[in-house]
Amino acid sequence: MNRCLAALVAFGLCLGSATAAQAQNWSPVEKEVLQAIDACVESARSKNLEGLMACHHDDFLGWENGMPGLRDKSFARSRAPLDFAARDLVSWSIQPLGIRVHGNVAIVHYYEYRVYREKDGKDTSTRSRWTDIMLKQGNKWVWIADHGGADPGNKPSGSQ
């Protein structure tokens, strides 16, 4: 039994090391996709509605965990000012797990970490999991679809 457990732990460590090593070796086009996501989130952090909307393809369709239906670009446009008013995005980072690029389409799986400053001054950190489908329009990567949201195994810090 102990040998079996040790073998499973060793396999898990090797798998984790392979994923970490892969994350350090993104191709130039994969880095370009990640930079596009960074730029789009910076538009959200700086409350730049038009910049954020420019990150969404006109046919964007997404589904966030816990939402009863799909989101499109018009929903994102109407929702963003409410989100901007509710709290401030203090910091943001992602931990990419895998990226596949096929021509002008990219699929990106990642963990997302955010720290928000609530209106009462308290900071709340969150972790979520996302799959983004990006489409290259001209020389810019934009969201055409996504799925994800709060990581069900993670409770926000700072919350009661």
Q: What is the pLDDT of residues 101-126, one digit of tens each?
A: 999 999 999 999 999 999 999 999 99
Q: What is the per-residue pLDDT across 25-37, written as a single tens digit (0 to 9) for each?
A: 999 999 999 999 9
Query: What average pLDDT does this structure show over 89-96?
Result: 95
Q: Can you give the pLDDT at residue 153? A: 76
pLDDT in tens, 49-72: 999 999 999 999 999 998 899 999
Q: With bands split at pLDDT 50, 70 and 90, how would you rate the model's confidence at 7? A: very low
Q: Which amino acid is at 9?
A: V
Structure tokens at 6: 């040790």
E-state strands within 1-160: 56-64, 71-72, 87-102, 105-118, 123-137, 140-150
Q: Among 106, 110, 127, 99, which Cα is nearest to 57's?
A: 106
**Domain chopping of the chain, boundaries:** 27-150
Six-digit token string for 149: 């949201």
**pTM, 2 dp:** 0.79
101: left (phi over 0), alpha (psi -120 to 50) or beta: beta
Residue 67 to residue 146: CA distance in whole angstroms = 13
What CATH architecture applies to the domain 27-150?
Answer: Roll (3.10)
If one compares 110 and 157, the residue with the highest pLDDT of the two is 110
pLDDT at 157 over 70: no
> pLDDT class for 152, splitting at 50, 70, 90?
confident
Please give the distance of CA 101 from its chain centroid, rounded to a whole number.
Answer: 17
pLDDT of residue 22: 47
